[in-house]
Every structure is written in structure tokens, then in C-alpha cells.
């Protein structure tokens, strides 16, 4: 018996990295999963892996900045699988931002905010409509340790993730009495394309990053996925408004 038996989950940005591993772990625990992403090839590959392993999955192309697409994604999940138990709002970008505030283009700030903040906002709103009707549901927003502390040369990204933590806590309190839970996960540096795109260009960056992490390594997306499953499942039934840090000890120093 898996933690997500007979449950239905939705994961945005599930074509790569943390989103993909979260979708695979949710399916491993028994969930039927809606995989969504702008990256069609990656999203279809995740869904196919679940199906090949005997699970149930659909892929829905969705840009989280597009309200109509977000509403259609949630509707397709409920139409296909009958309900929505766990929603993982994971899609996000770093904007490849490694610039100081005064050197950062407004366009990059706007793009990061549109995907990381408005995207989570639109997804939460659409998911909550169904969860309120059901009187149950768990939302897991993927924030970052940059949502808890400052991130030099990534101020826009850090601001966007602080906003995700604020959205999470506010909604957690608003819907607690209705039986809904809303939590955030704050990963530290995790070895996904988002990070390897930067460390491949500047290997010294990886060296410096690893040196700052007490465990002396980057996290793996599979490690973040285990926390997603736990918060998404009834095993975390008394947990809401929490920001769960998985960072190899980085923010403990
Ligand atoms: P990733 O490997 O780049 O995966 C992100 C996925 O989201 C990609 O498939 C990407 O598609 C998709 N995406 C981008 N914009 C989208 C949009 N507008 N609508 C829907 N999907 C979109 O990144 P990751 O490292 O797994 O990151 C996942 C989440 O974890 C993000 O919210 C990130 O901020 C957060 N996080 C990551 C780390 C880390 O160290 N990796 C640490 C803390 C928090 P494309 O590839 O086509 O852009």
C-alpha cells in the first residue's frame, strides 16, 4: 500500500528536474498523475515513464503564466481522474540570473515574477476551486532557500521565492478550517538542469557552492521528491503553512 494509493496528483514543470522526480515518486506511491509543462518532450517522457511502470498519467501542455491554460490543466485532471488530492506547483525559472540588482534587466525581473509568483498564484487559485468543493486537498509549492534568506546576484529570484512562501502561509491559514493544507518546500542547490546550466558555464561556481554546504554536495531531485510525496499525502495530515527546508545544512550555518 503506497502513501498515495487512490489519490490524484498534479505537478507543474514535471518535464524536468524536481518536477519530474516528484511526479515519478507520487506515481510510485500509487497516485494517478497529471504531468504538465511547457516542455512537451520532457513532459510526455515523464508521463510515458509512469505508464511504462504500470501507473496512470496524462500530459497536459500548460504555461503557468496563462490563466486559461492553467484552468484547463486543472479541469483536465479532474475530468480524467475524477478529483484532485495533491497539487505540486513546481514550475519555475532562475532566469539564469547571476547579476547584481543594478545590472539586472527589468525584463528578467518581470519574467521571473510572471512564472515564479503569478504562475503559483494562478495554479493555486484554480486548484483551490476544486479542493474547496471536495473539502480536502494538499497544495505543495516549490519555493527555495532563496525564499528564506537573501541570494546575492539573484535578488529577483529570491524576491519571487519569498513571495511563494508568503502565498503559501496566507492560503494555509485561510483554508485550514476547510480541511485543505498548503505547504512550501525550500530546496537548496539541487542538481537539475536549472543548476547544471550555470555550473557547466562556470565550474568554479559549483566548487564554491559545494564548499558552503555542510554536507559538501548538491541535493538530488529524488531527495526533494520524497518531501513532496510526504507533504502531499495524508501522512502529513497536521502539517500546514510549513516551509520545509532540504539543503544539506546550508541555512543552518
Ligand atoms: P528545471 O529542471 O529547469 O525544471 C523546470 C521545468 O519547468 C522545466 O521543464 C521548464 O521548462 C518548466 N517551465 C519553465 N517555465 C514554465 C512555465 N511558464 N510554465 C510551465 N512550465 C515551465 O528546474 P528545477 O531545478 O527542477 O526547478 C523546479 C523548481 O524548483 C523551480 O520552481 C525552482 O525555482 C525550484 N528550486 C530549484 C532549485 C535547484 O537548485 N535546482 C533550488 C531551489 C528551488 P523549460 O525547460 O522548457 O524551461
pLDDT given at position 98? 82
Looking at the chain, the whole-number percentage of residues with pLDDT higher than 90 is 93
pLDDT given at position 244? 98
Report pLDDT digits (tens) over 40-92.
Answer: 999 999 999 999 999 999 999 999 999 999 999 999 999 999 999 999 999 99
Question: Which sequence positions are flagged as catalytic?
Answer: 157
Domain boundaries, the chain: 8-245
pLDDT given at position 197? 85
pLDDT given at position 242? 98
pLDDT given at position 125? 98
Atom of ligand 1 nearest to the CA of 20: 26
* Mean of all residue pLDDT scores within the chain: 97
Q: How confident is the model at residue 19 (pLDDT cuts 50, 70, 90)?
A: very high
Report pLDDT digits (tens) over 178-204.
Answer: 999 999 999 999 999 999 888 888 888
The mean per-residue pLDDT over the stretch 80-109 comes to 94
pLDDT of 97 strictly over 80: no
The mean per-residue pLDDT over the stretch 228-240 comes to 98
Which protein residues touch ligand 1 with a CB less than 6 Å away? 12-13, 15-19, 37-39, 42, 62-65, 90-93, 115, 119, 142, 144, 187, 189-190, 192-195
3-state secondary structure the chain: CCCCCCCEEEEECCCCHHHHHHHHHHHHCCCEEEEEECCHHHHHHHHHHHHHCCCCEEEEECCCCCHHHHHHHHHHHHHHHCCCCEEEECCCCCCCCCCCHHHCCHHHHHHHHHHHHHHHHHHHHHHHHHHHHHCCEEEEEECCHHHCCCCCCCHHHHHHHHHHHHHHHHHHHHHHHHCEEEEEEEECCECCHHHHHHHHHCHHHHHHHHHHCCCCCCECHHHHHHHHHHHHCHHHCCCCCCEEEECCCHHHC
pLDDT of 37 strictly over 80: yes
Q: How confident is the model at residue 1 (pLDDT cuts 50, 70, 90)?
A: confident
pLDDT given at position 202? 84
pLDDT given at position 216? 97
Q: How confident is the model at residue 223 (pLDDT cuts 50, 70, 90)?
A: very high
Report pLDDT digits (tens) over 138-162.
Answer: 999 999 999 999 999 999 999 999 9
pLDDT given at position 200? 85
Task: Tell me yes or no: is domain 8-245 CATH 3.40.50.720.
Answer: yes
For ligand 1, the distance from its centroid to the CA atom of residue 52, given in whole angstroms, is 24
For ligand 1, the distance from its centroid to the CA atom of residue 195, given in whole angstroms, is 10
pLDDT given at position 8? 98
Amino acid at each position: 500500500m503506497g502513501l498515495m494509493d487512490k489519490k490524484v496528483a498534479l505537478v507543474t514543470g514535471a518535464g524536468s528536474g524536481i518536477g519530474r522526480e516528484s511526479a515519478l515518486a507520487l506515481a510510485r506511491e500509487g497516485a494517478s498523475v497529471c504531468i504538465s509543462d511547457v516542455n512537451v518532450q520532457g513532459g510526455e517522457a515523464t508521463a510515458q515513464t509512469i505508464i511504462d511502470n504500470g501507473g496512470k498519467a496524462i500530459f497536459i501542455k500548460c504555461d503557468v503564466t496563462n490563466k486559461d491554460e492553467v484552468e484547463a490543466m486543472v479541469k483536465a485532471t479532474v475530468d480524467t481522474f475524477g478529483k484532485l488530492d495533491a497539487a505540486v506547483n513546481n514550475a519555475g525559472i532562475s532566469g539564469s540570473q547571476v547579476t547584481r540588482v543594478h545590472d539586472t534587466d527589468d525584463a528578467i525581473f518581470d519574467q521571473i515574477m510572471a512564472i515564479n509568483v503569478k504562475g503559483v498564484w494562478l495554479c493555486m487559485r484554480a486548484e483551490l476551486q476544486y479542493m474547496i468543493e471536495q473539502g480536502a486537498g494538499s497544495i505543495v509549492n516549490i519555493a527555495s532557500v532563496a525564499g528564506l534568506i537573501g541570494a546575492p546576484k539573484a535578488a529577483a529570484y529570491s524576491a519571487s521565492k519569498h513571495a511563494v512562501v508568503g502565498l503559501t502561509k496566507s492560503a494555509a491559514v485561510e483554508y485550514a478550517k476547510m480541511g485543505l493544507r498548503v505547504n512550501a518546500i525550500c530546496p537548496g542547490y539541487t542538481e537539475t538542469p536549472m543548476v547544471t546550466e550555470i555550473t557547466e558555464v562556470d565550474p568554479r561556481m559549483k566548487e564554491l557552492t559545494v564548499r558552503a554546504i555542510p554536507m559538501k554536495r548538491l541535493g538530488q531531485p529524488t531527495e526533494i521528491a520524497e518531501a513532496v510525496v510526504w507533504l502531499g499525502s495524508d501522512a502529513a495530515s497536521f502539517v500546514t503553512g510549513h516551509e520545509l527546508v532540504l539543503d544539506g545544512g546550508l541555512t543552518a550555518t
